Structure 1
Amino acid sequence: MSTSPTPSEREKKDKEDRAREAEEQAKLPYKWTQTIQDLDITVPVPSNLRGKDIVVDMKKMYLKAGVKGQEPVIDGPLPHEIHPSESTWTLETVTAGKEISLHLDKTNKQQWWASVTTNSPYFLDTSKITPENSKLGDLDGETRGMVEKMMYDQRQKEMGKPTSDEEGKMAMLEKFKMQHPEMDFSNAKMG
């Protein structure tokens, strides 16, 4: 019989997991961060390089990046699709030299990535990601409507009231009852 961990045990394990993830990420030859909408990767390169010395190939499900004539730093299938036409790369001068800066635009704006490529030696535990705070006004119309409906339905459930879908079904039933007064609905159940 397994028992669930106490809050202090869970906190200790989460702290150990974060430390392990930071250690594994430090071993990668690049750094990466993500938001729910995009992924940013930086690859350190020697400061004497110019844009023509860099090789970057971004496809819907594939990424390759590195220095011409050398083994690529990143070369493999992506775990999820990107919009290649909306994704960019630049060669930037930074304090420690130069770096290739890649910006990948995710196709699915509702999905966290566990790694940059599926052949990466490092995978992030996406269940521990805390979504960034965003305002409803930041969302496009369709997404905003969907989020507002989900929030409304959640509040309704918490109060023991019907969700918007259930309200729609009940309204349809009432309309049907009015159109058919000859029918007995006393034993009708919503399913």
Structure 2
Amino acid sequence: MAEKLAPEKRHSFVHRGQKVFEWDQTLEEVNIYISLPQGVPTKLFFCNVQPKHLEVGIKGNPPYLNHDVASPVKVDSSFWTLEDGTMHITLQKRDKGQTWPSPILGQGELDPYSVDEEQKRLMLQRFQEENPGFDFSQAQFTGTCPDPRTFMGGIRSG
């Protein structure tokens, strides 16, 4: 059932008509996917994750990304891999359940409708996690969705 609440699609950050990266998020992490240029040895790529900053590039060149992240991350739990021509960066959210409008602070942020949809999906994911055995995949919210970090109601019986 949890897979029904996983990200349905990746969001794209496009700058000047060129896709910079794609991304998605769960309750606990933000995933960034960067297509790598061909012909560059994989050992030359680097990624430096700091609590509030991300740097990605090719050694010996200016960084491809050198920006603050939208919210703080747990550096020890964040990691990156290179596979099939893609750099996959997993940033562990310091504040579980927080909805990020974009991985990069002030760049390529989702529109308000998309942020609300992400909040709804993350809230359903949290309900699923906190109430195993129940299927919330068809649940619907009306109106604005509360932030899943601060929603205190939950679902209770009795």
Give the TM bin, normalised by the shorter chain: 0.5 to 0.7
TM-score, L = length of structure 2: 0.64
SS in 1 for 2:67: strand
Aligned to 2:110: 124
> Structure 1 pair 119/55, CA: closer, same or farther in 2 (3 Å)?
farther
The AA in structure 1 aligned to 2:117 is: K
Structure 2 residue 49 is matched with structure 1 residue 58: yes
Structure 2 residue 94 is matched with structure 1 residue 100: no
Structure 2 residue 30 is matched with structure 1 residue 39: yes
Aligned to 1:136: 130
Residue 27 of structure 1: CA displacement? 4.1
> Structure 1 pair 113/27, CA: closer, same or farther in 2 (3 Å)?
farther
Question: For the residues of structure 2 that align with 1:119 and 1:73, how far apart are their CA atoms?
Answer: 17
SS in 1 for 2:47: strand
Residue 115 of structure 1: CA displacement? 1.2
The AA in structure 2 aligned to 1:80 is: S
Question: For the residues of structure 1 that align with 2:94 and 2:65, how far apart are their CA atoms?
Answer: 20
The AA in structure 1 aligned to 2:102 is: S
Residue 23 of structure 1: CA displacement? 8.3
Query: Which structure carries more helix by proportion?
Result: 1
> Structure 1 pair 85/28, CA: closer, same or farther in 2 (3 Å)?
same
SS in 1 for 2:98: coil
Structure 2 residue 142 is matched with structure 1 residue 150: no
Residue 61 of structure 1: CA displacement? 0.6
Higher CA-based Rg: 1
Query: Which structure carries more strand by proportion?
Result: 2
> Structure 1 pair 55/24, CA: closer, same or farther in 2 (3 Å)?
closer
TM-score, L = length of structure 1: 0.54
Per-residue CA shift, 1:131-186, capped at 9, x if unaligned?
15424256xxxxxxx9896323xx78xxxxxxxxxxxxxxxxxxxxxxxxxxxxxx
> Structure 1 pair 63/23, CA: closer, same or farther in 2 (3 Å)?
closer
> Structure 1 pair 116/28, CA: closer, same or farther in 2 (3 Å)?
farther
- Contact 1:88–1:102 at 8 Å: present in 2 too? yes
- Contact 2:12–2:22 at 8 Å: present in 1 too? no
SS in 2 for 1:52: helix
RMSD: 3.0
List runs of 5+ in structure 2 lacking aligned partners: 1-10, 133-149
Residue 127 of structure 1: CA displacement? 2.0
The count of residues paired between Structure 1 and Structure 2 equals: 122
- Contact 1:50–1:91 at 8 Å: present in 2 too? no
Per-residue CA shift, 1:114-140, capped at 9, x if unaligned?
1111142x10131232315424256xx
